[in-house]
Amino acid sequence: MYGQGLIKGLRITLKHFFEKKITQQYPEERPNLPERFKGSLTLNVPKCIACGLCSNACPNHVIKIESQKDENNKKKLTGYKVMLERCLFCGFCVEACPTKALEWTKEFELTKFYREDVNLDLFKGYVPSPDDDKPAKPENEDTAQAS
């Protein structure tokens, strides 16, 4: 019979019509993002050893690092800028980081009103504290103290 396929198609549509809706109501309903999601970048400044591996790994030379040598001839970070407008979000910088100081965040709403606001200065918000000089504690010790 001509039109059979049409009716079959309509039946499928009708079945879905009474199903649970799968559309995500985005601004109200937040997406459940996976662990490896590449959103924005964050830097744990005390952990950073200013080695410059992230800057070298970047295909677009997005990361600019400034560092000074202190009295022990150890490199100290004095500036960390990410030109996010040219970033490919490939993640080579995070992969290259030997101390895991640079990491992805799950923040994905990176739209800004002005162009210069797009770029990140990951060093700016950093305030030195006496805890920084302490060697990084093993993780399980940290949790033991917290509990």
Partner 1 sequence: MLKTQELTLNLGPHHPSTHGVFRCVLNLEGEYIQKAVNHLGYLHRGIEKLAESRTYTQFIPYNGRLDYVAGMLNEWTYVHAVEKLMGITEEIPERAQYIRVILGELQRLASHAIYIASMALDVAGATAWFYGFRDRDEILDLLEMVSGQRLMPNYMRIGGVAADLPEGFIEKCQALIDEFPNRIAEQEGILIGNEIFQARVKNVGPISKEMALDYGLTGPNLRASGVDTDLRRDEPYGIYDRFDFKVPVGEKGDTFDRVLVRIEEMKESVKIVKKALRDIPEGPVMAKVPKVIKPPVGEVYSRIENAKGHLGFHIVSDGSTKPYRLRIYSPCFVNIGIFPEMAKGIHLMDAVVALASLDIVLGEIDR
Give the binding site for partner 1 (CB under 8 A): 2-6, 8-9, 11-13, 16, 22, 34-38, 57-59, 88-92, 95, 104
Identify which of residues 8 and 115 has a Cβ nearer to partner 1 in the complex: 8
45 vs 96 by CB, closer to partner 1: 96
CA–CA gap between residue 90 and residue 86 (Å, rounded): 11
CA dihedral 31, 39, 105, 75 (to 10 degrees): 180
Nearer to partner 1, 65 or 93 (CB): 93
CB of 43 vs partner 1, minimal distance in Å: 18
